[in-house]
Amino acid sequence: MTKALLSHPSRQHSNPASRSLLWVRKNLFSSWSNSLLTLLCIWLIWSFLPPLLNWVFFQANWVGSTRADCTKAGACWVFIHERFGQFMYGLYPHDQRWRVNLALIIGLLSIVPMFLKTIPHRGRYIAVWAVVYPVVVWWLMYGGFFGLERVETRQWGGLTLTLIIASVGIAGALPWGILLALGRRSHMPVVRVLSVIFIEFWRGVPLITVLFMSSVMLPLFMSEGTSIDKLIRALVGVILFQSAYVAEVVRGGLQALPKGQYEAAESLALGYWKTQGLVILPQALKLVIPGLVNTIIALFKDTSLVIIIGLFDLFSSVQQATVDPAWLGMSTEGYVFAALIYWIFCFSMSRYSQHLEKTF
């Protein structure tokens, strides 16, 4: 008895062109409303993209040193080139800007070991870095000793000041916010009530009011002859304000954990702080990574409010440069440049948060 092997007719694989047409039909022209929306988007792109590319690239002015060199109809990027130092460093002395660059290089090199899982005692390294690096940055930028010329904080500005306010603000608000979140969930009435009062007070006050009070009103309550640097007062206000929002984000993560985690820690006879540090907080912080990054991004953009107290960050430096009589009419180029810088930092933080979510 013989067995006949019947083979199925070979299936022809669709070529890439057919798959592309199928995708277009399924996603862009699946219904009359979807088709109308697709055609509208195509018309908008066709209408606005070519003029935008001409203004940004093809008809832009790239070479020159004054406004008179901007003879083409496109953007005058000469303005950005000539004022780039002001946008990055503010009024920091030109011959001392190497100190800002050195502080940035030291910071970038020193945080590399934090991402190496093989480094021993990484937690201790991070703790030491959090204490030592701010001191090094203050010494380099402010100076006044060890042979460095003193540069007052009123001369700090640009992107440098934006990064300082944002980084110090979140570095100080994160641990303080975690403590407030734990305090709000505490079983001790006094601690819980004080935490609630603190959080609700700072959440109910606009940041611009906090900056104004710290800069203008606070000196009125200080004794004569006592003064605190304006930047220090602003940083303290930002930390207190931001810690309230961090506390609420962390509290959301704490509430999301099941009671079984607490019971498991109790079964191991762990104390309160070991339970929080080893069991609860690692899981809670992992859950709220998107919320924390959203808070950081909001703070990074809110740094532009420091102009109310006479500090000139990146956005304020751009505004200041556009009113220069030598560069009148360059506000569009300045704001586009500032928007690009803000977008690069915010998008990078967003992508890194997605990486953290997948890693931990």
DSSP per position, 300-338: HHHGGGGGGGT-EEHHHHHHHHHT-GGGTT-HHHHHHHH
Please give the model's pTM, rounded to 2 decimal places.
0.86
pLDDT of 265 above 70: yes
Q: What pLDDT shows up at residue 1?
A: 44
Bridge partners of 313?
158
pLDDT of 28 above 90: no
Query: Cα(334)–Cα(329) distance, rounded to whole angstroms?
Result: 10
pLDDT of 2 above 60: no
Residue with the two structure tokens 């000196």: 219
2 in helix, strand or coil? coil
Are residues 287 and 253 in contact, defined by beta-carbon separation less than 8 angstroms? yes
Query: Cα(270)–Cα(264) distance, rounded to whole angstroms?
Result: 9
* Overall CATH class of domain 152-359: mainly alpha
- Lowest-pLDDT choice from 21-30, 260-269, 274-283, 338-347: 21-30
pLDDT of 149 above 70: yes
Tens of pLDDT along 32-87?
A: 888 899 899 999 999 999 999 999 999 999 998 888 888 888 999 999 999 999 99
> Alpha helix locations (H) across the chain?
16-27, 32-53, 78-82, 84-89, 97-110, 122-142, 158-184, 189-203, 207-212, 230-256, 259-267, 272-274, 281-287, 289-302, 314-322, 331-359
pLDDT of 8 above 80: no
pLDDT of 254 above 80: yes
pLDDT of 7 above 70: no
Per-residue tokens: 80: 């950005």
In the chain, domain spans = 152-359
- Encoded amino acid at 230, one letter: K
Per-residue tokens: 210: 């906090």
> Alpha helix locations (H) across 257-313?
259-267, 272-274, 281-287, 289-302
Backbone φ/ψ region at 59: left (φ over 0), alpha (ψ -120 to 50), beta: alpha
Q: What average pLDDT is seen over the chain?
A: 88
Q: Name the nearest CA neighbour of 301 among 153, 162, 154, 173.
A: 162
Q: Name the nearest CA neighbour of 83 among 352, 339, 360, 323.
A: 323
Tens of pLDDT along 199-215?
A: 999 999 999 999 988 88
Q: How far is CA 137 from CA 129, 141, 160, in A?
A: 12, 6, 11
Percent of the chain with pLDDT over 70: 96
61 in helix, strand or coil? strand
Q: What pLDDT shows up at residue 119?
A: 78
335's CB contacts (< 8 A; 6+ apart) are 318
The residue that leads in pLDDT, 215 or 138, is: 138
